[in-house]
């Protein structure tokens, strides 16, 4: 029993250190650098780099922090389950099985949390898209260039799409052409609407097509898509509201309507 508890403590120490690491401590800082190197060597089979980049976390430190958090919580959860099961006197096979299951569950939950954040990020961008495109159309119609219009939106507007425009402006200032940065934004944001907008603007700027007409058409399509999305959400909400009506309110109403008749019939039968 003692050696099993020592094994559990051996697994608990790395998880606790990963959660409490500080850059000020030289020893812990050295441990953190080693863990960071190990995190970099792990294969990114789930596309964590691309998914974090879509959320605006584009540095290697962001990837390392995510992996350290993921592995640290998995180790801590596995250790906690192991200690609880061992203290309750469970068999070693049961302890190993539930330890592996708890660790895998925490790993999947953290990955699902990242996917949920990406989904909310895309929905926020698509919700902001019609208003942002209308602002860009007005700015270009007033005589500004596309870069000046995006700079104005990035400085004055708030939201996820304005942050993406700020990234485009920063890449342009580093020397990249406008069409390259727009294409990069279209690839970075996994949204069909943004991809079509980026392709249309790139094509218009390269071929010299009227940009205002392109943006106006996209603004109209974006408003139509937003209206369809709202109608679909309203339809789903209507169906969800029918569930308590059909299975709760309607049976109670029928019971109140039939109860006096049933009572009278029972009296006559008696």
SS (H, E, C) 82-123: HHHHHHCCCCHHHHHHHHHHHHHHHHHHHHHHHHHHHHHHHH
Q: Which two tokens stand for residue 225?
A: 């898509």
Which pLDDT tens digit goes with each residue over 175-199? 888 888 888 888 888 888 888 888 8
More confident residue, 142 or 4: 142
Query: What residues make up the domain containing 134?
Result: 123-226
Q: What is the pLDDT of residue 46?
A: 58
Instruction: Tell whether 102 and 203 lie within a shared domain.
Output: no
Residue 25, sorted as left (phi over 0), alpha (psi -120 to 50) or beta, turns out to be: beta
Write the CA distances from 218 to 56, 59, 150, 200, integer angstroms: 25, 32, 16, 9
Q: How far apart are CA 130 and CA 115, in angstroms?
A: 24
Backbone angles phi, psi at 210, to 5 degrees: -65, 115
Residues 7 and 108 reside in one and the same domain: yes
The percentage of the chain sitting over the pLDDT mark of 70, rounded to a whole number, equals 82
Number of domains in the chain: 2
The band of 266, judged by pLDDT with boundaries at 50, 70 and 90, is confident
Residue finishing a domain among 87, 122, 157: 122
Confidence of residue 30 (pLDDT cuts 50, 70, 90): low
134 and 74 in a common domain: no
State pLDDT tens for residues 214-231: 888 888 888 888 888 888
Determine the pLDDT at residue 22.
46
Neighbours of 153 (CB within 10 A): 21
Residues 160 and 190: their CA atoms lie apart, in Å, by: 13
Residue 245 maps to a domain = no
Identity of the highest mean pLDDT range in 19-28, 38-47, 103-112, 243-252: 103-112
Residue 19 inside a domain? The answer is: yes
Same domain, 150 and 50: no
Rounded to two decimals, the pTM is 0.64
Instruction: Verify that 117 and 127 share a domain, yes or no.
Output: no
Alpha helices in the chain (DSSP H): 2-19, 26-41, 48-54, 60-87, 92-141, 146-156, 160-173, 178-188, 192-207, 211-244, 250-269
Domain match, 51 and 136 both? no
pLDDT tens digit sequence for 84-107: 888 887 788 888 888 889 888 998
């Amino acid at each position: 029993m003692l050696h099993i508890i020592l094994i559990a403590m051996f697994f608990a120490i790395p998880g606790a250190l990963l959660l409490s690491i500080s850059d000020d401590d030289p020893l812990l800082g050295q441990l953190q650098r080693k863990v960071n190197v190990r995190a970099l060597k792990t294969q990114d089979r789930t596309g964590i780099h691309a998914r974090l980049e879509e959320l605006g976390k584009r540095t290697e430190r962001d990837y390392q922090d995510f992996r350290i958090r993921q592995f640290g919580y998995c180790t801590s959860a596995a250790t906690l389950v192991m200690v609880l099961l061992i203290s309750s006197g469970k068999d070693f096979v049961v302890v190993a099985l539930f330890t592996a299951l708890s660790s895998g569950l925490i790993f999947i939950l953290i990955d699902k949390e990242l996917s949920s954040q990406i989904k909310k990020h895309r929905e926020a961008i698509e919700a902001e898209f019609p208003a942002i495109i209308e602002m860009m159309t007005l700015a270009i119609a007033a005589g500004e260039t596309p870069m000046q219009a995006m700079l104005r939106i990035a400085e004055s507007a708030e939201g996820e799409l304005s942050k993406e425009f700020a990234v485009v402006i920063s890449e342009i200032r580093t020397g990249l052409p406008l069409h390259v940065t727009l294409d990069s934004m279209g690839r970075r944001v996994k949204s069909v609407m943004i991809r079509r907008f980026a392709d249309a603007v790139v094509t218009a700027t390269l071929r010299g097509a009227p940009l205002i007409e392109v943006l106006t058409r996209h603004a109209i399509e974006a408003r139509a898509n937003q209206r369809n999305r709202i109608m679909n959400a309203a339809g789903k909400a209507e169906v969800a509201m029918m569930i308590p009506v059909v299975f709760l309110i309607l049976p109670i109403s029928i019971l109140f309507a039939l109860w006096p008749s049933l009572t009278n019939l029972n009296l006559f039968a008696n």
